Structure 1
């Protein structure tokens, strides 16, 4: 491959993705170039500086067939909590420990997951775009981070019930998408879904208390 083409591709991968389809395409491209894809490589794909993908991608993976593997939802929730915690304290460059950065998934499975995400991501991009943008910036980013952390705390117990963890992960995915496309209306919707997810969690486990 020509050096100029390599340089162009590198520059594109380091820029912030602009929509969900571009996020999925970058994941698919990364999967095509490796046998296994580490978390660190996924982070490099998004440039470490765009908040949205770091909430959106783990949540979308959990909502894909990969999320059906026991233990995966809780693992992904822990990753989201790590990213959301850094968002909460205003970091503009994400960091994860080396041992976590080296954790990887089969490129084949990731590629299959991106295929299942692609049609959905295109619909999302048609439906959602920059509305009420002031609610997707500034202090509202920290609000989204805090609520996302609350959502991750519900995932481990909900993993005991098939598909139940999809509710909080769906809310986190909406927060990530809202930040990605700077859509305040979607941020409000994500907050509402998070409230529903918390209510469902409480109703499921309240009888056991």
Structure 2
């Protein structure tokens, strides 16, 4: 994996980078994605996991939410432990989808990305630095533990994907308000899952 973490300032920039770096490949592996954004990019890795879980065609593939959960859990735990470079197992990095499926799913995010980026700005920075950053990592670990269950509860994985996307955007844009919204989204998602299972 690339030791040089890419710098992204907004969602459009990340989507464009993913689109360009995975073009002309028959299949897009998780390893290709991680290599393109760097193995020290906690925010972008969370954002990619959230986008893939949310994206039509990709997030609906059985097993994809669970794979994203493993990615989020491994990265979050390593951040909590103070690692600067994230290690991921080769069997996970080799997981892939067809390039056409990946491209259509990622490009679906282009239009909302434009409007999301207009709202993104530094604020409430205590929620995305120091203890706030670790709170985000712990919360993402808890989300990851719940995501395999979400595969059997229709639409619940969308709540997890939305929260991960918000946390990833918050870290990229240093926008603590988005992190706060991500925290507030979780009780509603948990309530929806419990309601569906009872």
Question: Normalising by structure 2, what TM-score?
Answer: 0.91
Q: How does 1:74-113 map to 2 (within 5 A)?
A: 74-113=66-105
Q: Is the 8 A contact 1:32 1:107 kept in 2?
A: yes
Q: What SS is found at the alignment partner of 2:109?
A: helix
Report the structure, 1 or 2, having the larger helix content.
Answer: 1
CA 1:14–1:49: 2 relative to 1, 3 Å? closer
Q: Whole-Å Cα distance in 1 between the matches of residues 23 and 89 of structure 2?
A: 25
In the alignment, which residue of structure 1 is the partner of 2:20? 29
Q: Whole-Å Cα distance in 2 between the matches of residues 59 and 26 of structure 1?
A: 16
Q: Whole-Å Cα distance in 2 between the matches of residues 14 and 132 of structure 1?
A: 24
Q: Whole-Å Cα distance in 2 between the matches of residues 110 and 128 of structure 1?
A: 25
In the alignment, which residue of structure 1 is the partner of 2:29? 38
Which stretch of structure 1 is more off in the superposition, 46-55 or 196-205? Answer: 196-205
Q: How does 1:3-18 map to 2 (within 5 A)?
A: 15-18=6-9
Query: Is 1:60 equivalent to 2:51 in the alignment?
Result: yes
Q: Whole-Å Cα distance in 1 between the matches of residues 165 and 13 of structure 2?
A: 15
Q: Greater CA radius of gyration, 1 or 2?
A: 1
Q: What SS is found at the alignment partner of 2:156?
A: coil
Deviation at 1:56, TM superposition (A): 0.8
Q: 5+ unaligned residues in a row in structure 1: which ranges?
A: 1-9
Deviation at 1:34, TM superposition (A): 1.9
Q: How does 1:150-169 map to 2 (within 5 A)?
A: 150-169=142-161
Q: What SS is found at the alignment partner of 1:32?
A: coil
Q: What SS is found at the alignment partner of 1:105?
A: strand
State the Cα deviation string for residues 171-197 of structure 1 (Å, max 9, x = none). 111111111111111111111112222
Q: Is the 8 A contact 2:51 2:106 kept in 1?
A: no
Please give the root-mean-square deviation of Cα atoms over the aligned residues, in Å. 1.8
Q: Is the 8 A contact 1:21 1:121 kept in 2?
A: yes
State the Cα deviation string for residues 129-177 of structure 1 (Å, max 9, x = none). 1112222111111111111111122222221122221112211111111
Question: Normalising by structure 1, what TM-score?
Answer: 0.86
Q: Whole-Å Cα distance in 1 between the matches of residues 146 and 91 of structure 2?
A: 24
Which stretch of structure 1 is more off in the superposition, 23-32 or 81-90? Answer: 81-90
Deviation at 1:14, TM superposition (A): 5.0
Q: Whole-Å Cα distance in 2 between the matches of residues 53 and 14 of structure 1?
A: 9
CA 1:81–1:14: 2 relative to 1, 3 Å? closer
